[in-house]
Amino acid sequence: MQPLKESFIYNKVMKVRILGLLSVIFLGSCNMTSDSESSVEGGDSLKVDTLEHEQLDLYEPMVIPESADELFNDFFYSFLEDEDFRKERIKTSFNNQSLLVKEAYVVIYERESDLSLLKDTSVKSVSLDWISWEHESIEHYRFEREQDGKWYMKSVDEEQLSDTPNGTFLAFFKKFLTDDDFQMESLGQPITFILTPQEEEEALETTINEEEWIEFRKELPDLSASIVCINYGQTAISHNRKSVLLEGLSSGFQMKFEFDNIGGEWKLIKIEN
């Protein structure tokens, strides 16, 4: 009997589940409707009071937890969401408001062990790199954890894309994100897709072809104008493999894209959630 994971039915089920998961991840909202449009006599006053209370709660000031500085991601979430907190933590000139509205950030890495830096409380410096594809430049916003244990933006500097350790891969990645024809030429045949549901112990594996990739990419954030890379100090020496972690700080969403250099050409060979 053909193994389940290789069967046509399994692949179809997997793809439905994947698309369903993406809808939850990227749309991230529910349409709430009342069970009934009719009101119960004598209950209207209670409903109005409850509604007014809920609306007031929406405008309560954000409370920054004491643990916000333990991990850079936790700090950065508060940095994005609270203007007063942000002003307190900036010790240099800052005028790039676009940095604050990205729906997703990326981490470019080579070894799986590098991802441990995201949860490493001993990390003392992080660079937030704003990359403009049009100008082929990188603005480095450098954060440091000072002796008081708090993160601060300490300096800003700029360099050309070609001068960075990941310059060659970033040149490819720019074209991959901005040129549809080149992107299709840079897809693995097929692309491995690995899904690890929280409710199941084993990862589920399938593949997607070019047509399915076209549908899949519609659910991804638009990174064709610029991206923001978070550099925790991960290595950048390999010319054979690069992985891109796409991360939503507020949603907790993560997705990995693995690229291999095959015969001198970068190819997207694996996507993992």
> Residue 18: what pLDDT?
57
**Which of 124, 138, 104 lies closest to 222 in space, CA to CA?**
104
> Residue 109: what pLDDT?
96
> Whole-angstrom distance between the N-terminal and C-terminal Cα of the chain?
29
265: helix, strand or coil: strand
- How far is Cα 22 from Cα 10, in angstroms, rounded to an integer? 18
> Residue 200: what pLDDT?
60
Q: What is the pTM of this model?
A: 0.76
> Residue 227: what pLDDT?
93
> Residue 65: what pLDDT?
75
- How far is Cα 101 from Cα 193, in angstroms, rounded to an integer? 29
> Residue 29: what pLDDT?
43
**Which of 247, 213, 270, 257 lies closest to 25 in space, CA to CA?**
247
Furthest CA-CA distance within the chain: 75
Residues 6 or more apart in contact with residue 64 via CB below 8 angstroms: 78, 82, 85
Each residue's pLDDT, cut to its tens digit, for the chain (273 residues) gives 333 343 333 454 455 455 555 544 444 544 444 444 444 444 454 444 544 555 545 446 677 877 889 999 899 989 988 999 999 999 999 888 778 867 789 999 999 999 999 999 999 999 999 999 999 999 999 999 999 999 999 999 999 999 999 999 999 999 999 999 999 999 999 999 998 876 666 888 999 999 999 999 998 889 999 999 999 999 888 889 999 999 887 677 889 999 999 999 999 999 998
49: helix, strand or coil: helix
